[in-house]
Structure 1
Amino acid sequence: MKKENSMYICKECGYKSVKWLGKCPNCGEWGSLEIEEEKDINVGNKKITKQIFSEEEINKKIISFNEIEMEDNFRYKTRVKEFDRILGGGLVQGEVILLTGNPGIGKSTLLLQMANEYTRYGEVFYISGEESLAQIKNRGERLGIKNNKLFLISETNIDKIYEYVAIKKPKVVIVDSIQTLFSENSESTAGAPTQIREATLKIVDVAKKNNICFFIVGHITKDGKVAGPKMLEHMVDAVFNFEGEEGLFYRILRSEKNRFGSTNEIAIFSMEEDGLKEIQNSSEYFISERNEKNIGSIIVPVLEGTKVFLLEIQTLITEGNPIGIPKRVVQGFDRNRIQILMAIGEKRMGINLGNKDVFVNIPGGLSIKDPSADLGVLISLLSVYKNVEISQKIAAIGELGLRGEIRKVFFIDKRLRELEKLGFKGVYVPESNRKEIEKKQYNLKLIYLKNLDEFLERI
């Protein structure tokens, strides 16, 4: 029976209700509301829920902003610059990071390499609930790791892990994986939402109290989401996703949440026999060897977080089935955006694609979300449609409006510097960026465009 002064709380999202509900109105989970007693005290004629502390305890908890001291070594850095960059400049003391990815993608390999790097600052614990210590040692030897400050622990009881970490106080702890941990305070099995929530709460608690950094490995479902309650992603400081596809020997580390750095950052690593290697010049890596002039291919500088990547846009137009629905095959670009750009091209540039099959591809496996690639897509389509070659030393920057206008693009200087660095000769840029561009000098031929009509006049 429900006791007085108690609430039903959703174990998935924390939603509170005064009565039991079969389905949580907030997150939509079934059977997730559990009873939790609360202590009430009277204030005037109202009842409020409150935890009572002594004045001494309150004074310890409430600290003046100016009294808080920070250590000089606030961030831990490695010799892997791309990894430090995606963290926001290094690993912040007390930070808790969730690393997700498909099975076998290389999460454990990456973290074991980083664990070896962080031993420069002190002891590092690698806690595994999935592999034996001998298996981890075998991988470490393959990576060339020999380190007396790196300690391996095989444990799945979060209460014991809490004690180990609180007593020994290592600088960095790696937990592989959160789905294998369990607490004796919960009757559910390891991997259940309540167990994941309980384990993460303890990890965050010991991390913040002792300024210990944690990397937590999290499995993902077939839908690509983190297995467990959505609350897990809110509890940690950063969420990184490790991506890769079969047949490709590189891996992408993507920042989806970061309290101490930029989101939507990506870092590229190549999978080698002796571990993962960073690719610093990623733009050159993704640009394939091309002829001096090509039909239907152009380079666009797109922004991912704070870094510029030069990616190639390839298009192909073929005759479709006259009695069938024309194909629109898109890889690495938003399909709905392609439909809009095709409509703009038909209206403003005379590209009639109504009964033709259209194929758009971004080689290399990366996806473009930056709207500054719009102009490049239409130039590529026009090149194929009119069978006109495009110089591979010319790039395009510009977001398109429905009226055919070429809109202003942000961070234009970073994009132009990246093109300049890789030896490009010219670039189409929006006229609205002219004032910003003319303040600096570039070793590029800058072709300013207000709209698509001006582009058609130049070709």
Structure 2
Amino acid sequence: MEKSVTSRKAARKTVFFCQNCGTEYPKWSGQCGECGAWNTLVEGMAAPKARGRAAPGLVAPSSAVQRLDQVAEEDTARIPTGLSELDRVLGGGIVPGAVILIGGDPGIGKSTLLLQALAALEGRLDTLYVTGEESLTQVSLRARRLGLPRLDLPVLAETMLETILDTLVRTKPGFVVLDSIQTLYTDTLEAAPGSVSQLRECTAQLVRYAKASGCAIVLVGHVTKEGAIAGPRVLEHMVDTVLYFEHDVGSRYRIVRAVKNRFGAVNELGVFAMTDGGLREVSNPSALFLSRHEQPVPGSVITVTRQGSRPLLVEVQVLVDASQAGNPRRVALGLEGNRLAMLLAVLHRHAGIALSDQDVFANVVGGMRIQETAADLPLLLAALSSFRGRPVPHDMVVFGEVGLAGEIRPVQNGEERLVEAAKHGFKRAIVPEANRPRRTVKLDMEVFAVPRLDQALLHI
């Protein structure tokens, strides 16, 4: 009797998991020794080894060591979802066996988008929608409100992982949506649903099933108040693709961004508009990020940024005003604040324009975030335009990286950016010297290729 009680206590051993990286510790500490994060360790129950069992359909044949040149090439056919913007983010469509994790704020439209994708796929691919947060009645009401083209979608309300896997093995769908991963639990663990141990184990078993069966699985994840997907970061390493749903408060536009994709480009984005009938694709996203002033205004410069494989025209606005305090403010929205301060120092050093007594506020119209250096030159030209009160020509587009020595460095895919600007009617462009278009590229616009910052200022 004593031995059975001792073994049962050992099976229910308490451990601590890091919510950031998933590392397991026998006792609590203030800092994770693996990732260095503070106050991220939470209590959980260790998985009892004696109770563990292989999930159905997860037994894979043993593999042998092979040489790379002996591995046969396979052209995996992607399955289009019927939503071109979602296909763009995924890298061209759904890859069989892929596991996709999508996160976003509550009510942003994750379930709406996935229901629309399921309705578009039904008839071409067997699908299944598994809900752990809503009842079947709630899902049905949403589908009818959206006016989906098909309402005969297979739906399952379940939170126990073993039951879900048994259903998948029996019905063999090709595309499954699990909404959400935080509500699932496995009976091999005694921890509560949503805990670190449950998240990690449920995701691991779903990934194994997807790879063994070729079924594509989408996991809907909650986000923290910082906007990151809740749970250990190890979840993002386990899946093939990580998508984030983004939007500005009060805006009807939604952006789906890929931050990880084993089958496509990262930082690829798709743009949708939320309407009464669900999410609608935006065919010309560049129009969202341009103010289209009737007359040229000081402090506004159009640039061409690149998000994944898509060039987008965005408007960079800068307001320069006399500071009323001893310490002038430097505020950047959609841009890196430290880079703004550095570029203003370059403007002073190599162009002789001092803004040390001025407040500088920079913003990217439409809530777009620019993480590349191609916005350096338009940012400085917009600051100078606002400071002098002289507008930049409304038919001019600018891009280029500014170095600390005052040189204008090239950016990637310069010719594609110019072609995109020409499509939208821009007639003039200021670009780095190394991005001067080749003679084979025919553009209906005047291009000024400049090697240094002081020369770029001469053209405005």
TM-score with structure 2 setting the length = 0.88
The answer to whether the 8 A contact 1:165-1:206 is kept is no
Using CA pairs below 8 Å that are at least 6 residues apart, which structure has the higher relative contact order?
A: 2
1:46 is matched with none
Q: Specify the code of the residue in structure 2 equivalent to 1:455.
A: A
- Equivalent in the alignment of 1:450: 451
Letter in 2 for 1:30: L
Distance 1:32 1:106, change over 3 A: same
Mapped to 1, the partners of 2:281 and 2:304 lie a distance apart of 20
Cα displacement (A) at 1:350:
2.5
Whether 1:74 and 2:85 are equivalent positions in the alignment is no
Instruction: Compute the displacement of 1:147 (Å).
Output: 2.9
In the superposition, relative to structure 1, how do residues 16 and 198 fare at CA in structure 2: closer, same or farther (>3 Å)? closer
Find the aligned partners of 1:456 and 1:69 in 2 and give their Cα distance: 52
Per the TM alignment, residue 429 of structure 1 is displaced from its structure 2 partner at its CA by 1.0
Determine the structure 2 residue equivalent to 1:107.
110
Give CA-to-partner distance per residue, 1:215-260, whole Å, 9 cap, x none. 1000011122221121111111100000112210100101011010
Alignment of 1:414-433 (within 5 A): 414-433=416-435
Per mean C-alpha deviation after superposition, the further-off stretch among 59-68 and 424-433 is 59-68
Per the alignment, do residues 363 and 14 of structure 1 end up closer, same or farther by CA in structure 2, a change over 3 Å counting?
closer
Match of 2:233 in 1: 230
Query: 2:260 maps to which residue?
Result: 257
Distance 1:197 1:425 in 2: 54
Partner of 1:61, secondary structure, is coil
Aligned-pair distance for 1:121? Answer: 2.3
Q: Trace 1:273-312 onto structure 2 (pairs within 5 A).
A: 273-312=276-315
Query: Which residue of the partner structure matches residue 442 of structure 2?
Result: 441
State the Cα deviation string for residues 281-315 of structure 1 (Å, max 9, x = none): 11122212213422111100001111111000111
Q: Percent identity?
A: 38
Which residue matches 1:368? 370
Return the alpha-carbon distance in structure 1 between the equivalents of residues 322 and 128 of structure 2.
Answer: 60
- Supply the distance in 2 between the matched residues of 1:144 and 1:318 (Cα, whole angstroms): 50
SS where residue 326 of structure 2 aligns? Answer: coil
Q: What is the DSSP-based 3-state SS (H/G/I as helix, E as strand, rest coil) of the residue aligned with 2:366?
A: coil
- Select which of 349, 352, 355 maps to 1:350: 352
Gaps of 5+ in 2: 1-5, 8-13, 50-58
Give deviations 1:408-432, integer Å, cap 9, x for gaps.
1110111011101100001001112
> Helix, strand or coil for the counterpart of 1:364?
helix
Task: Give the partner amino acid of 1:26.
Answer: E
Instruction: Please list the CA deviations of residues 363-395 of structure 1 after superposition, one character each: whole Å capped at 9, or x if unmatched.
Output: 111111121111111111111222222111001
TM-score by length of 1: 0.88
Distance 1:69 1:211, change over 3 A: farther
Which one of the candidate residues 85, 97, 100 is aligned to 2:100?
A: 97
Of 151, 168, 173 in structure 1, the residue corresponding to residue 171 of structure 2 is 168
Does the 8 Å CA contact 1:123/1:150 hold for their aligned counterparts?
A: no
Distance 1:148 1:107, change over 3 A: closer
SS in 1 for 2:356: coil
Following superposition, the deviation at residue 127 of structure 1 comes to 0.5
SS of corresponding position for 1:360: strand
Alpha-carbon RMSD across the aligned residues, in angstroms, is: 2.8
Distance 1:209 1:325, change over 3 A: same
Structure 2: distance between partners of 1:63 and 1:89 = 31
Residues 115-264 of structure 1 aligned to structure 2 (within 5 Å):
115-147=118-150, 150-264=153-267
Q: Summarize the Cα distance change of 1:15–1:191 in structure 2 as closer, same or farther, 3 Å threshold.
A: closer
CA distance in 1, matches of 2:274, 2:131: 22
Can you give the 5+ residue segments of structure 1 that lack an aligned partner in the other structure?
3-7, 39-56
Query: For residues 314 and 120 of structure 1, what CA distance do their matches in structure 2 show?
Result: 47
| Contact in 1 for aligned 2:99/2:241 (Cα 8 Å) | yes
**Kindly tell me: are residues 22 and 262 of structure 1, through their superposed partners in 2, closer, same or farther at Cα, counting changes over 3 Å?**
same
Confirm or deny: 8 A CA contact 1:284 1:422 kept in the other structure.
no
* SS in structure 2 at match of 1:438: coil
State the shift of 1:60 in Å: 4.6
Could you tell me which residue of structure 1 aligns to residue 33 of structure 2? 25
1:294–1:372 CA distance, 2 compared to 1 (3 A): same
